[in-house]
């Protein structure tokens, strides 16, 4: 089967690898692979800590993906020889003031009601876990099963795995979907070349709605949600594990890497396709990070960057076949695309090659948004 995939972010890359490993002839189209959100993301693998009422199906998908991570990474690292910076060392969530602590306690009770264990800690116990935390931190939750990965190492590893599995990379922009006899027949590139395929996967992050030829009711309902992050350089060890905090109601996280990088994030802004980094964004992140971990102001500043999360109307991915035969969507991964990479690749490879979505992916098929026209 011939498959063409538009977009080589973590979702397109991992799906290309998995589909090629299952025997498909895969062409991956992207003028600048892994240049979108996948190059900016912090890489937290934390399905539980971002839990929100009403998002239980997304939680189950996140848990399924977190469970796949150890074998996914082992296979990827063995095939390519690349290190991905994967760590399964847990997440500490802390609260700065009494209101933040009340919110965290709400979250703990909600998790408990879903049968998800986490350990409640008082302020002193939090500082025993992370000695760099501010003395004022009121309490926290330890989620030992969570972890992190370095997306800037994950994406090159996925590209190497895809190429080693026979995927052809075409470094061009896809301009449109080719539709013939009410079926998706491939992709038209920006130079007019047509790549014909039995199945076409649209995995271009927040740009997935921009292609020509998409029937009106089937345009993926994704929008860009801007996030700014800072990269600092810290002595090792500075923090032992990813630490997420609420500071007077504002969420902040700090993600340490084995090589001393410390990622501080992230803003969440609805500003369209704007990727400017701003003084205000930088200030907010440093202000809240310093409240939690005063020592951050001593660290070397390396980089500030902004990326666009592909947001969908219900914050969940949009994955699976569409009403246009031959066209599959793989977008809308919003704040969780790195976490969801292993499970999405399996779901999308099945959607492309078997024409069916496995059980775990069924709540996320595109038909929940399709409009009959
Ligand atoms: P992208 O990575 O955006 O890739 C889309 C690709 O499509 C790009 O390479 C682009 O060049 C290509 N493309 C676009 N248009 C075309 C076209 N016409 N033709 C061909 N190619 C095209 N997730 C987590 O799980 N954990 C985190 O800690 C985390 N932190 C984040 C922090 C920030 C600040 C941001 C912005 C995101 C974060 N995310 C996190 C979310 C995660 O980064 C995204 O969900 C994920 O990267 C989406 O991957 P993707 O492959 O769908 O899209």
Residue 228 phi, psi (nearest 5): -105, 140
Which atom of ligand 1 lies closest to the CA of 174? 19
**51-105, pLDDT tens digit by residue?**
777 788 999 999 999 999 999 999 999 999 999 999 999 999 999 999 999 999 9
Report d(CA 278, CA 352) in Å as an integer: 40
Would you call 257 helix, strand, or coil by DSSP? coil
Which of ligand 1's atoms lies nearest the C-alpha of 29? 20
pLDDT-derived band at 26, boundaries 50, 70, 90? very high
| Full strand arrangement of the beta sheet holding 25-29 | 168-170, 25-29, 2-6, 199-202, 327-331, 318-321
Does domain 91-144+223-311 correspond to CATH entry 3.30.9.10? yes
Beta strands across the sheet bearing 261-265: 119-122, 139-143, 91-95, 242-247, 250-256, 261-265, 223-233, 300-311
Beta strands in the chain (DSSP E): 2-6, 25-29, 44-45, 91-95, 119-122, 139-143, 147-148, 168-170, 174-180, 183-189, 194-196, 199-202, 223-233, 242-247, 250-256, 261-265, 300-311, 318-321, 327-331
What is the ipTM, given to two decimal places? 0.99
pLDDT > 70: percent of the chain = 99
Residue 372's pLDDT is: 53
Q: In the predicted model, what is the mean pLDDT of residues 333-348?
A: 98
Contact 64, 215 (CB under 8 A): no
Which has the minimum average pLDDT: 77-91, 99-113, 217-231, 268-282? 99-113
- What's the mean pLDDT in 20-43? 97
Q: Where are the domains of the chain?
A: 2-43+153-221+313-369, 91-144+223-311
99 three-class SS? helix
- Pick the residue whose CA is nearest to atom 20 on ligand 1: 30
Percent of the chain with pLDDT over 90: 91
Q: Which residues line ligand 1 (CB under 6 A)?
A: 6-12, 29-30, 32-38, 40-44, 173-174, 203-205, 207, 227, 229, 265-266, 307, 309-310, 331, 333-339
Burial of 106 (0-12, 13-18, 19+ CB in 10 A): exposed
> pTM for the full model?
0.97
Protein residue closest via CA to atom 14 of ligand 1: 204
Q: What is the pLDDT of residues 175-206, one digit of tens each?
A: 999 999 999 999 999 999 999 999 999 999 99
Q: Which CATH architecture has domain 2-43+153-221+313-369?
A: 3-Layer(bba) Sandwich (3.50)
pLDDT at 373 over 60: no
- 8 Å CB contact between 137 and 292: yes
């Amino acid at each position: 089967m011939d498959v063409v995939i538009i977009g080589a972010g973590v979702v397109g890359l991992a799906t290309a690898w998995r589909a090629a490993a299952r025997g498909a002839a895969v062409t991956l189209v992207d003028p600048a692979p892994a240049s979108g959100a996948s190059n900016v993301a912090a890489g937290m693998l934390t399905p539980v800590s971002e839990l929100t009422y009403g998002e239980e199906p997304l939680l189950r998908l996140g848990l399924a993906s977190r469970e796949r991570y150890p074998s996914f990474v082992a296979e990827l690292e063995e095939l390519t020889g690349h290190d991905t910076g994967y760590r399964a060392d847990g997440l500490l969530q802390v609260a700065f003031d009494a209101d933040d602590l009340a919110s965290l306690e709400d979250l703990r009770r909600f998790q408990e009601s879903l049968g998800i264990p986490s350990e409640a800690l008082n302020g002193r116990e939090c500082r025993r876990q992370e000695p760099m935390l501010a003395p004022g931190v009121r309490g926290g939750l330890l989620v030992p099963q969570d972890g992190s990965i370095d997306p800037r190492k994950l994406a090159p590893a996925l590209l190497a795995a895809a190429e080693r599995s026979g995927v052809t990379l075409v470094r061009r922009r896809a301009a449109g979907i080719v539709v013939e006899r009410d079926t998706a027949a491939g992709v038209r590139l920006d130079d007019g070349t047509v790549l014909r395929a039995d199945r076409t996967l649209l995995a271009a992050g927040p740009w997935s709605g921009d292609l020509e030829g998409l029937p009106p009711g089937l345009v993926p309902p994704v929008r860009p949600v801007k996030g700014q992050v800072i990269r600092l350089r810290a002595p090792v060890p500075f923090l032992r594990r990813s630490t997420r905090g609420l500071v007077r109601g504002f969420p902040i996280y700090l993600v340490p890497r084995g090589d001393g990088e410390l990622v501080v994030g992230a803003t969440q802004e609805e500003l369209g396709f704007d990727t400017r980094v701003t003084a205000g964004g930088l200030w907010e992140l440093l202000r809240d990070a310093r409240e939690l971990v005063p020592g951050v102001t001593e660290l070397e500043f390396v980089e500030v960057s902004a990326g666009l999360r592909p947001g969908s109307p219900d914050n969940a991915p949009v994955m699976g076949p569409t009403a246009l035969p031959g066209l599959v969507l793989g977008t809308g991964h919003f704040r969780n695309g790195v976490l969801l990479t292993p499970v999405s690749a399996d779901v999308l490879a099945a959607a492309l090659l078997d024409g069916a979505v496995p059980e775990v992916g069924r709540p996320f098929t595109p038909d929940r948004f399709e409009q009959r026209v």
